[in-house]
Structure 1
Amino acid sequence: MLTFKAEVLKSKQKSDGTYNVKIRMTYNREVKRLSTNIFVRQEDLTKSFKLKNPKFIKEADTIVRYYQEVCARLQLDINHYTLDDIIAHLKGEQIKSQEIDFIQFSREWITHATIKGAENYTTAINALVAFLGQEELKISQLTKGLLERFASYINARREVKVKELIRQGKRVPSNRALSLYLGSIRHLFNEAKKHYNDYDRNIILIGSSPFENFKIPKQEATRKRAISADLIRQIYKLPYLYNSRGKETQGRYNLAKDCFILSFCLIGINSADLYNCSELDSNVITYYRTKTTSRRVDKAKMQVKVPALIMPLLKKYRDIKGQRIFNFYHHYSTADSFNKAINYGLKEIGKLIGVDDLEYYAARHSWATLAVNKVGIDKYTVHSALNHIDEAMKVTDIYIERDFEPENEANRLVMEYVFGNGAYI
Structure 2
Amino acid sequence: LQHMERYFGTTQVKFAQLTSINVNKWVATLSGTARAKEMYPICIRQIFRAAIDELNDYDNGIIRVKTNPWGKVKIPAADRPDKKAITAEACRAFFATPLPETRMVDPLPELGRDVAMMVLCLAGMNTVDIFNLRKQDYHGGIIHYKRAKTTKLRTDDAYIEMRVPEVIKPLFEKYRAGDHTDRLFRFCDRFSTSDSFGSNVNTGIKQICKSMGMPKERWYCVYTFRHTWATTAQNDCAATIAEVGFAMNHSHRQSVTRGYVIPDFTPAWELNEKVIDFIFFSDATSRRMEREKPEEEGLFRISPKMLIRAAAFFQGRCLANFEDIGYSNIEEVTKALVNQFPADIPDRSMVQFKIVNLDNGKVHVYEHQKGKGF
Q: TM-score under structure 2 normalisation? A: 0.63
Gaps of 5+ in 2: 283-374
The one-character-per-residue Cα deviations of 1:126-169 (angstroms, maximum 9, x if unpaired) are 9xxxxxxx943338x74xxx25x7436643x468xxxxxxxxxx
Matched, 1:420 2:293: no
CA contact (8 A) 1:229 1:370 kept: yes
Partner of 1:151: 24
* Amino acid corresponding to residue 408 of structure 1 in structure 2: W
Partner of 2:4: 107
* Amino acid corresponding to residue 367 of structure 1 in structure 2: W
CA contact (8 A) 2:56 2:63 kept: yes
Displacement after TM superposition at 1:292 (Å) = 3.5
Q: What is the alpha-carbon root mean square deviation over aligned residues?
A: 3.5
Partner of 1:85: none
Gaps of 5+ in 1: 1-103, 111-121, 127-133, 160-172
What is the rounded CA distance, in whole Å, between the counterparts of 1:241 and 1:414 in structure 2? 27
Residue 37 of structure 2 aligns to a residue whose secondary structure is helix
Indicate which of 100, 106, 128 corresponds to 1:272: 128
Partner of 2:272: 411
Partner of 1:377: 239
Displacement after TM superposition at 1:265 (Å) = 0.5
* Amino acid corresponding to residue 267 of structure 1 in structure 2: A
Matched, 1:251 2:124: no
Counterparts of 1:220-369 in structure 2, within 5 Å, are 220-240=79-99, 249-278=105-134, 279-321=137-179, 323-353=182-212, 354=214, 356=216, 357-369=219-231
Residue 221 of structure 2 aligns to a residue whose secondary structure is coil
- Distance of aligned partners of 1:216 and 1:259 in 2 relative to their CA distance in 1, 3 Å threshold: same
CA contact (8 A) 2:26 2:41 kept: no
Higher helix residue share: 1
The one-character-per-residue Cα deviations of 1:252-297 (angstroms, maximum 9, x if unpaired) are 1111111111111011222222122122122111122233334444
CA contact (8 A) 1:174 1:221 kept: no
What is the rounded CA distance, in whole Å, between the counterparts of 1:333 and 1:136 in structure 2? 32
| Residues paired across the two proteins, number | 277
- Distance of aligned partners of 1:204 and 1:154 in 2 relative to their CA distance in 1, 3 Å threshold: closer
Displacement after TM superposition at 1:350 (Å) = 1.1
What is the rounded CA distance, in whole Å, between the counterparts of 1:107 and 1:207 in structure 2? 17
Q: TM-score under structure 1 normalisation? A: 0.56
CA contact (8 A) 2:206 2:220 kept: yes
- Distance of aligned partners of 1:394 and 1:257 in 2 relative to their CA distance in 1, 3 Å threshold: same
Matched, 1:389 2:262: no
Which of 1 and 2 has higher RCO (CA within 8 Å, sep 6+)? 2
Partner of 2:15: 137
- Distance of aligned partners of 1:417 and 1:202 in 2 relative to their CA distance in 1, 3 Å threshold: farther
- Distance of aligned partners of 1:137 and 1:200 in 2 relative to their CA distance in 1, 3 Å threshold: closer
